[in-house]
Structure 1
Amino acid sequence: MADTQTDMKAVICTRYGGPDVLALGHVRRIAPGPGQIEIAVQNATVNRTDTATLRAHPFFARGMTGWLRPRHKVPGMDFAGVVARVGDGVERFAVGDRVFGMSPERFGTYAEFLVIEAEGPVATLPDGVALDEAVICEGAWYASATVNQLKSGQSLLIYGASGAIGTAALQLAKARCGGYGRCGHAASEPCAGVGSGSGDQLSGRGFYRSGAAFRHGVRCGRANVMV
């Protein structure tokens, strides 16, 4: 029987494989240390990093996740929830704060509670945004690596703008400089919904004829992100 004071429910993965290797169980609930916060996880996602890590794909990723078996047995990267406890020295957050973020190194979001660094990739959720709408960090994390290269006067062409990384890149680019989303006709509505105006959607071969100059290219999953 689980100790309700020191244990918590979690999805556990002790070997690589498909969804069938996941099991619901109990793991030790860890108290936050100095500079850390504990979050009561309310929402999490299943993103492409989660599925790739589950299968140890590509193979060389085992150098980071564990050669023979997962180094961290509770998977999950994105989260949204409420701060349950704070460690010594934490001033950025207080108990009861609604937060969202990601745990890209130790994972662990498929559990009732998660302990992370208060200065890590976590932020207070704006008022009016529901917890289940905020669990989008993985796509934004990959997109920001390219968008952060933008300088004043540059624009960004997102090839495949309707996916998780593409929609995040489009929003970040629009906020920073300017963004052009390249997507098929069927995907134009999602692009418009995240801030791409009709003049910014380049379907088919439209971006070849747009006259815009893009100096750098970065491969982002199956989509090209060009600056």
Structure 2
Amino acid sequence: SNIFYGWEYFTTESFMVKVKTLKTNPCIMKVKIKNKTENIRAVWMEKNVIQMIDQRKLPFELKFFNARNYNDVAFAIKNMAVRGAPSIGAAAVYGIAQAHAQKKDIKNAAKILRNTRPTAHDLFYAIDYMLKEIKSGNDAKNSAEKYVESLVNECRMIGVHGEKLIKNNYRILTHCNAGALATVDYGTALAPMRFAHYNKKNVFVFVDETRPRLQGMLTSWELLNENIKHRVIPDNA
């Protein structure tokens, strides 16, 4: 894939893992593409096109949703092609940056994106952040990248510290999806499990199916790509 720009070694206190990089940013989520394992993010921006893993297609096929304007981003959020508060926020900041680059009405773009999820506070915060950055004269694309990197770094630190709490042979129950798909990379609840797995700890994950949207299948898909042992269980089991 042409989105990757080389290899880096990513180090924490307890392990070192070789990851592919998107420009200078490490991507740790593993995805099997054409019999190869790639490191990728759930949402990113390349050449003014916002690309995201289309979560509506998972777990049966891997497809990418390409948003070429803020209306496309709004469609992706409203129709759950992108899910998870941090990933939605990332899509929104990229959408505002894209609208700014295309010399569109930023306030109108913000209004349309804001109306996609009336209760999504991360979305509102992301939009307000971008409006403030642009008003201050800061580069919109750089501001969007800074916002996304802050999200990713928070998840990385959850993984670094949370991994220490996981002992060998732990059994862990998850609900909904709190993995890299929902948070751009690493995940929140899933990050410590990823890091424990990288550190050669034996963990087994029970994945609630999470009705009615069945987000557990997204968690299962992520765990499968990481080769982490797990089972999906019905919510009423």
Same fold (TM over 0.5): no
Higher share of residues assigned helix? 2
Higher share of residues assigned strand? 1
